[in-house]
């Protein structure tokens, strides 16, 4: 590996995004999958970094899941997106940041398409007015939320309490980074680091003390791939993608996987349970899996947030071995307590993979 | 006084054009930016299809330009048209008045880093066709350490919309097969694979080379493109490709991957080309006046082109064009 080669690419694929004043839009599925991630992003940016992040309660899904599943035409998806942009404009913002990678891909694709085909933009402008009576506007800057955490990674490092380091040995944790396909594979120039060797998560890992694992199937899809999973008959294909990745990363013995897509951590997490049930194999040490976390969860962990406030109990793969490696204190009794001590219930114990 | 002809470029096209013009009694002046004549061919070991030593060809061409006015390590920094032809200023501050200009500036090798998925400059054991040729000449390249399995990727930077080069680079197929045979000569126990879209073996002896590659050297030709290269824990390369004849994706571990980089226009001439008013064609090379009857002429009177500055060309094509341009220039001077 020639690190200077990667560094050159990283230098070539940088993008200009503002420091502050963003209109934030949520993902339609992340709140169900990883309920602590978005709220942690807002807490870090608003309260730790003192940034202005505005949320409009009327914003909706971007339509990306339906678009990529071929259940709505592109014009419909674009009109939904135009409405989101109109809400940003009405709220007095021009910098748009989204939580979801697929949304980021859809927004990027839409803006590029409007740029290339102004007649389509004019058509969507009319659709927006006819359907919502809203004024058409486009963001001046578009960013993914991971772009902002990347941009502020050194500010976060200054407030870091538990770096990505094994507290007992002092050695950096080995971290796999997994980038959502829609981040930069379609438009390499829109992502930090480009499409082949993205820097957005690598930069976070390095800034927070970890060691990046580059393994042969690094670029391979997590297994979500929309139709791979949504079409029930294809789910074996979805799982086989995940299986391929784990088989490839296993020799490197990673401590953690960090992702920036709604679906990736879900599939990298849940399929570990299924693979274990089917094959009896687990990829972490001593019968555990490898935790697959969102970048907000990792940022929260290193900054000293309570793991259960981050929602890490929502992962199928037990997080405790990672917490112990990092030296993060946690109360096992509170793992399944929700807000105000509400009992969240216990997951059914799998037969192979350890969950606590 | 003999009429002076400015020849920009001292590679195969420039040398051959100068040699012919000299024999015709004119006064060619070769301006070459590097320290020696010969161009890319002087960096090559052997030539397809007959594995002829490139050195022999270069030496013969150098012999043919003995007596020709040559400026090495020199570039044209300015050129203006005047009543008698052109007034050129060289980087050594020399001023030349010439009656005609021959652009023989050749090509640049496509920068393999641009195809990031192949990992050139990232993974140690990914090299280019030019670097492999250098290894054949010198026997030295620490990346080439008794490889057991070697792959060649055709069309790197050619026939590829993603890098805005839709043209065929013409010589890469034959070069890949030639190099595949040569690498088997050096490492007889190695398995060698080539990954191609189409094998364009168009010239005399080329099809024989294709058959020889498979029959005598046991090189496996796989019809499909490599889409991704990565590195495993042992530092070996892991490639993904599609075998389109089997209709199946494949994954393979290699010790060495050779990228057959295409030709691109030599952009270092852009400023002078612009001053001469010569346009580019849709492939980004220089525009000839006519595809059929004016291949060596440009839209600008007194400005001629030869060799790979107008499109990717093999050495025989380049030599033929260089001889043709000499005739065009001779006729122009004596019009």
The answer to whether residue B2 scores a pLDDT higher than 80 is no
Residue ending a domain, choose from A78, A111, A145: A145
How wide is the angle at C-alpha A37 spanned by C-alphas A276 and A234, nearest 5°? 40
User: Which one of B113, B122, B238, B241 makes the best mutation probe of the A interface by having the most chain A beta carbons within 10 Å?
Assistant: B122
Answer yes or no: do A107 and A238 share one domain. Answer: no
* A9 in a structural domain: no
B227 touches chain A (CB under 8 A): no
Average pLDDT, chain B: 96
Report chain A's C-alpha Rg in angstroms: 20
Q: How far is A216 from chain B (nearest CA, A)?
A: 5
Residues of chain A with C-beta less than 8 angstroms from the C-beta of B233: 251-252
Task: Decide if A296 is inside a domain.
Answer: yes
Q: Say yes or no for a CB contact (<8 Å) between A219 and B231.
A: no
CA distance A290 to A272: 8
Confidence (pLDDT) at A53: 98
Is residue B91 located within the same domain as residue B43?
yes
Which A positions 179-198 lie with beta carbon below 8 A of chain B? 194-197
Q: Please indicate, yes or no, whether residues B128 and B253 belong to a single structural domain of this protein.
A: yes
Decide which of B207, B235, B263 is a domain's last residue. Answer: B263
**Residue B278: closest CA among B306, B301, B312:** B301
Q: Do B224 and B321 fall into the same domain? A: no
- Supply the pLDDT for residue A226: 83
pLDDT of residue A228: 82
In a domain, A318, yes or no: yes
Q: Is residue A12 part of a domain?
A: no
Does A355 reside within a domain? no
User: In this structure, are B156 and B93 located in the same domain?
Assistant: no
For residues B248 and B281, membership in a common domain is answered with: no
Could you give the strand order of the β-sheet that contains A22-25, starting from the edge strand earlier in sequence? A53-55, A22-25, A95-98, A141-144
The answer to whether residue A5 sits within a structural domain is no
pLDDT in tens, B181-215: 999 999 999 999 999 999 999 999 999 999 999 99
Shared domain check, B165 and B141: yes
Residue B114 contacts A where some CB pair is shorter than 8 Å: no
Retrieve residue B214's tokens.
């498979």
The CA-atom distances, in angstroms, between A342 and each of A297, A334, A338, A356 are 21, 10, 5, 19
Domain boundary among A145, A161, A183: A145
What integer pLDDT is reported at residue B125 of this predicted model? 97
Could you tell me which residues are beta bridge partners of residue A55? Answer: A24
Which helix (H) or strand (E) covers residue B260, if one does?
strand B256-261
| Statement to judge: residues B314 and B270 lie in one domain | yes
Q: Of the residues A99, A128, A145, which one is the last residue of a structural domain?
A: A145
Note whether A136 and A156 are same-domain residues. Answer: no
Assess whether A174 and A126 both reside in one domain: no
Interface contacts (A, B; CB < 8 Å): 38
**Do A105 and A201 sit in the same domain of this protein?**
no
What CATH number is associated with residue A92?
A: 1.20.1050.140
Question: Chain-wide mean pLDDT for chain A?
Answer: 95
Q: Which of B116, B121, B230 sits opposite A216 (nearest CB)?
A: B230
Inspect the interface and report whether the beta carbons of A197 and B116 lie closer than 8 Å: yes
- For residue A145, how many other CB atoms are within 10 A of its CB? 30
- Domain range for A36: 17-145
Domain count, chain B: 2
**Domain for residue A69, yes or no?**
yes
Whole-number pLDDT of residue B113: 96
Question: Does residue B1 have a pLDDT over 60?
Answer: no
Domain membership of residue B216 as a residue range? 112-263
Last residue of a domain, one of B240, B263, B286: B263
pLDDT tens by residue, A264-322: 999 999 999 999 999 999 999 999 999 999 999 999 999 999 999 999 999 999 999 99
Q: Are residues B100 and B123 in the same domain?
A: no
Same-domain pairing of A104 and A230:
no
Over pLDDT 70: what percentage of chain A? 100
Q: For chain A, how many structural domains are there in total?
A: 2
pLDDT digits (tens, 9 = 90+) for B72-121: 999 999 999 998 899 999 999 999 999 999 999 999 999 999 999 999 99
SS3 category, B43: helix
Omega of the bond leading into B104 within 30 degrees of 0 (cis): no
pLDDT at A330: 96
Least confident of A28-37, A344-353, B29-38: A344-353
Residue-wise over B201-218: b if at least 16 C-beta within 10 A, else e? bebeebeebbebbeeebe
For residue A12, give the chain B residue with the closest CA: B114
Mark yes or no for CB contact B232/A216 under 8 Å.
yes
- Say if CB B199 and CB B111 are below 8 A apart: no
**Are A223 and A140 contained in the same domain?**
no
Of A4, A9, A251, the CB nearest to B233: A251
Q: From B218, B242, B263, give the residue that closes a domain.
A: B263
In the predicted structure, residue A70 carries a pLDDT above the cut 90? no
Examine the pLDDT at A201 and tell me if it is beyond 70. yes
**Residue A16 CB-half CA count within 13 A:** 1
CATH code of residue B253 = 3.50.50.60
Q: Are A232 and A321 contained in the same domain?
A: yes
The reply to whether B118 and B32 lie within a common domain is no
Same domain, B131 and B230: yes
pLDDT for the residue A350: 87
Q: Does A6 touch chain B (CB under 8 A)?
A: yes
Instruction: Name the least confident of A218-227, B52-61, B278-287.
Output: A218-227
Angle at B222 between CA B217 and CA B225, to 5 degrees: 135
**Cα–Cα distance, B297 to B277 (Å, whole number):** 13
B116 lies in the same domain as B258:
yes
Burial (CB < 10 A; 0-12, 13-18, 19+), residue A2, is middle
pLDDT tens per residue, range B243-277: 999 999 999 999 999 999 999 999 999 999 999 99
Q: What is the dihedral sign for C-alpha A72, A77, A83, A87?
A: positive
Record: contact A6-B228, CB cut-off 8 A:
no
Asked whether residue A248 falls in the same domain as residue A321, the answer is yes
Is residue A136 located within the same domain as residue A24? yes
pTM, entire model:
0.92
Strand partners, A211: A174
Looking at the complex, report in whole angstroms how far the Cα of residue B33 sits from the nearest Cα belonging to chain A: 28
B121 in the same domain as B98: no
Domain assignment of residue A354, yes or no: no
Instruction: Report chain A residues whose CB lies below 8 A from the CB of B241.
Output: none
């Amino acid at each position: 590996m020639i690190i200077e080669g990667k560094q050159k690419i990283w230098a070539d694929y940088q993008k200009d995004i503002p420091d502050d004043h963003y209109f934030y839009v949520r993902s339609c599925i992340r709140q169900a999958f990883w309920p602590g991630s978005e709220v942690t992003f807002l807490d870090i940016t608003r309260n730790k970094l003192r940034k202005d992040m505005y949320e409009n309660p009327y914003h909706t899904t971007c339509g990306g899941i339906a678009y990529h599943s071929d259940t709505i035409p592109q014009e419909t998806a674009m009109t939904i997106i135009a409405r989101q942009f109109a809400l940003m404009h009405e709220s007095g913002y021009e910098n748009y940041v989204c939580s979801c990678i697929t949304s980021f891909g859809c927004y990027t694709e839409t803006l590029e398409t409007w740029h290339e085909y102004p007649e389509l933009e004019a058509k969507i402008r009319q659709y927006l007015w006819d359907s919502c009576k809203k004024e058409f506007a486009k963001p001046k800057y578009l960013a993914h939320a991971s772009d902002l955490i990347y941009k502020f990674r050194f500010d976060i490092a200054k407030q870091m309490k538990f770096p990505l380091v094994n507290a007992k040995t002092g050695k950096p944790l080995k971290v796999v980074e997994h980038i959502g396909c829609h981040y930069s594979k379609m438009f390499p120039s829109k992502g930090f680091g480009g499409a082949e060797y993205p820097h957005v998560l690598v930069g976070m890992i390095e800034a927070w003390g970890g060691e990046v694992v580059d393994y042969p199937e690094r670029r391979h899809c997590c297994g979500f791939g929309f139709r791979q999973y949504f079409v029930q008959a294809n789910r074996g294909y979805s799982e086989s993608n995940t299986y391929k990745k784990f088989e490839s990363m296993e020799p490197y013995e990673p401590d953690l996987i960090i992702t920036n897509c709604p679906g990736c951590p879900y599939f990298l997490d849940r399929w570990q349970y299924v693979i274990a049930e089917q094959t009896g194999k687990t990829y972490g040490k001593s019968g555990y899996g490898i935790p697959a976390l969102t970048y907000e969860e990792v940022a929260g962990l290193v900054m000293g947030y309570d793991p259960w406030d981050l929602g890490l109990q929502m992962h199928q793969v037990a997080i405790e071995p990672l917490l112990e490696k990092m030296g993060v204190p946690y109360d096992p009794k509170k793992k399944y307590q929700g807000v105000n001590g509400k009992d969240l219930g216990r997951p059914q114990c799998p037969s192979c993979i350890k969950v606590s | 006084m003999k009429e002076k002809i400015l020849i920009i470029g001292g590679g195969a096209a420039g040398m051959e054009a100068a040699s012919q013009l000299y024999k015709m009694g004119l006064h060619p002046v070769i301006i070459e930016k590097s320290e020696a004549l010969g161009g890319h061919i002087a960096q090559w070991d052997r030539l397809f299809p007959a594995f002829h030593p490139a050195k022999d060809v270069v030496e013969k061409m150098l012999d043919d330009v003995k007596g020709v006015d040559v400026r090495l390590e020199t570039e044209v920094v300015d050129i203006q048209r005047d009543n008698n032809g052109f007034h050129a200023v060289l980087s050594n501050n020399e001023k030349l008045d010439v009656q005609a200009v021959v652009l023989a500036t050749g090509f640049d090798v496509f920068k393999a880093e641009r195809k990031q998925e192949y990992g050139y400059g990232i993974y140690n054991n990914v090299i280019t066709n030019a670097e492999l040729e250098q290894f054949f000449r010198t026997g030295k390249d620490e990346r080439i350490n008794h490889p057991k399995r070697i792959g060649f990727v055709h069309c790197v930077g050619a026939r590829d919309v993603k890098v805005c080069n839709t043209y065929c680079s013409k010589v890469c197929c034959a070069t890949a097969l030639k190099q595949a045979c040569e690498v088997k000569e050096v490492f007889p126990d190695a398995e060698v694979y080539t990954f191609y879209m189409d094998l364009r073996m168009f010239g005399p002896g080329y099809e024989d080379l294709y058959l020889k590659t498979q029959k005598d050297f046991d090189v496996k030709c796989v019809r499909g493109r490599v889409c991704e290269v990565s590195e495993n824990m042992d530092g070996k390369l892991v490639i993904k490709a599609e075998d389109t004849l089997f209709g199946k994706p494949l994954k393979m571990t290699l010790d060495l991957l050779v990228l057959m980089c295409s030709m691109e226009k030599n952009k270092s001439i852009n400023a002078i080309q612009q001053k001469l008013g010569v346009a580019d064609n849709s492939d980004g090379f220089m525009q000839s006046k006519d595809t059929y009857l004016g291949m060596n002429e440009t839209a600008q009177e007194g400005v001629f082109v030869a060799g790979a500055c107008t499109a990717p060309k093999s050495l025989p094509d380049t030599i033929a064009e260089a001889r043709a341009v000499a005739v065009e220039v001779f006729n122009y001077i004596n019009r």
